Chain A
Amino acid sequence: MRAELRKLFGLPTAWVGLVLGLIAAPALVFVNAPGVRRAIESGEIADLGYENLGIGLLGALILGVVTVSSEYTSTGDDSPGAHQMTATLLAMPRRTRLLVAKGMALALVVAVQGALTASAAVLLTEVVLPEYAPPFAPDRIAAAALYWTLLALLAYAVTLIFRNGVITLTVFIVNSTVVSVSYLLTKLTPWAAYLPDIVGAHMFLRGDATGVRIAPLTAGLVMTAWVAALLAVAGYLFHRRPA
């Protein structure tokens, strides 16, 4: 796992994910001020500060994707079929152990990142809008960090299944920033609120943008189940497929 942490920090893309994830949400607290004012006027202030965390999720997603996609990137033009996964498997031939070490390294980094970002976003909101900001609640911060971690693991599992970072990243980024397909589906059926990427947000958001209210604990369990299922599929495929 130490090796996997070292490996992650040796990648420039991973730093993009780290920095983006860390600064995007707090920065939005400032940028998003007009929207926030509107929210205040309409009285929806329960999630002040927390709403901005959605954008920082991109950082967590990038980290989840690159831990795997970097393994499958071609190492050079002269040997197009060669990739780092070969070196990784030579160093750690036990595949389950490898996947667990990778997942743990990723979870650790993203959890720390999520906790720092969420704290920063909420504290900054208190500074910018002292009279409206929700009280600093460690349990909601922890829930937000957990959401980030689970989403990073989700990206990790999906990338392992497709062995391609571009597909995963496109789907997740489009879904979480441009048009949320999952969100649109909730207009068709309330069950869509249980899709893995949006159910988890109920762990720390108290507003009901989707029109469906899910208890934080239920949301956490549902999302964990999604992640566990996808990781199981990814692990199975990783064992079956040649390196």
Chain B
Amino acid sequence: MISIDRVSRPGILHEVSFVARPGRVTGFLGPNGAGKTSTVRILLGLDRAAGGTALINNRAYASWPRPLTVVGALLDGSGAHRARTARAHLRWLAASNGLPRGRVGEVLDVVGLAGAGGKRAGRFSLGMSRRLGLAAALLGDPPVLVLDEPFNGLDPAGIHWMREFLRRCAGEGRTVLLSSHLLDFPVDDVVVINHGRVVARGTTAEVTGEHDSLEQAFLSLTGAGAGSW
């Protein structure tokens, strides 16, 4: 369960509030520059908010002693130093949170990088980097997943795989928060943000409302023409 309550940052976020519930995929949608990444970074303790609270299972991210066992996060890039092998990267992450080394092989299998564990992260394609980032997010088998633009850089097969994967995670009862500027993804709940303000939130059906599709609703909510994002 993720609860964001009146999170503000001057000029970027204005009293952003929403929740993401277990067993559901929550889409955090908005045009580029709307404040999605800022919100996610505040939630993960990477940036500071000027006001409001962002909690994961009722605690701030930084107060969890072994955060990888609570939240798996996927942000821009793989997070691995270029010269490090995928396996070495996952091993130090596992060591930092007291996770068994065996998890490294398991998560590499899950994301389809079993054969690439010995390869240096700098030689990975964009799609492989995303998979490595996801492997890191899954190391601690966390009940909450936070993914910032997970489809960026994935080829169609990768996008299909990621969709299936996220659905399965929600099916297992995990909380999945997914920020994206794309809409071709079946989500259970939707939060739409524009210019740092939440302009709509609810189930997909509620947010779609009278519109023909979620996309139509999104366009009219964000006032964006088809070509501007």
Contacts and interface: CB of A to CB of B under 8 A. Distances in A.
B76 to A, nearest CB: 4
B75 A86 contact: yes
Contact of A3 (B46, B47, B73, B95): B95
Nearest to B66: A91
B79 A87 contact: yes
B45 interface: yes
Contacts of A73: 81-82
Interface string A70-103: 1101011011011110111111111000000000
A76 B129 contact: yes
Contacts of B185: none
Interface residues of B, number: 38
Interface in B34-73: 41, 44-48, 61-62, 64, 67-68, 73
B122 to A, nearest CB: 7
B121 A75 contact: yes
A91 B47 contact: no
Contacts of B129: 75-76, 78-79
Nearest to B73: A90
Contacts of A91: 67-68, 93, 96-97
Interface residues of A, number: 31
A82 B76 contact: yes
Given A91-B96, A243-B46, A75 B88 contact: no
A18 B219 CA distance: 57
Interface stretch (A9-17, A26-34, A118-126, A222-230): A9-17
A7 interface: yes
A6 B83 contact: no
B82 A87 contact: no
Contact of B47 (A2, A82, A242): A242
Contacts of B124: 76
Interface hub of A82, A87, A88, A89 (most chain B Cβ within 10 A): A87
Contact of B67 (A11, A12, A90, A243): A90
Contacts of A89: 45-46
A75 B78 contact: yes
A2 to B, nearest CB: 5
Given A11-B83, A89-B46, A76 B78 contact: yes
B91 interface: yes
A84 B46 CA distance: 13
Nearest to A11: B83
B84 to A, nearest CB: 5
A75 B77 contact: yes
A241 to B, nearest CB: 10
Given A76-B77, A242-B47, A2 B95 contact: yes
7 nearest interchain CB pairs? Answer: A82-B77, A87-B79, A3-B96, A10-B88, A93-B62, A79-B77, A3-B95
Interface of B: 41, 44-48, 61-62, 64, 67-68, 73, 75-85, 88-89, 91-93, 95-97, 121-122, 124, 126, 129, 136, 153
27 contacts: A2-B95, A2-B96, A6-B91, A6-B95, A7-B92, A10-B85, A10-B89, A10-B92, A73-B82, A75-B81, A75-B121, A75-B122, A76-B122, A78-B77, A79-B76, A79-B77, A79-B129, A81-B76, A82-B76, A82-B79, A84-B80, A89-B45, A90-B68, A93-B44, A93-B45, A93-B62, A242-B46
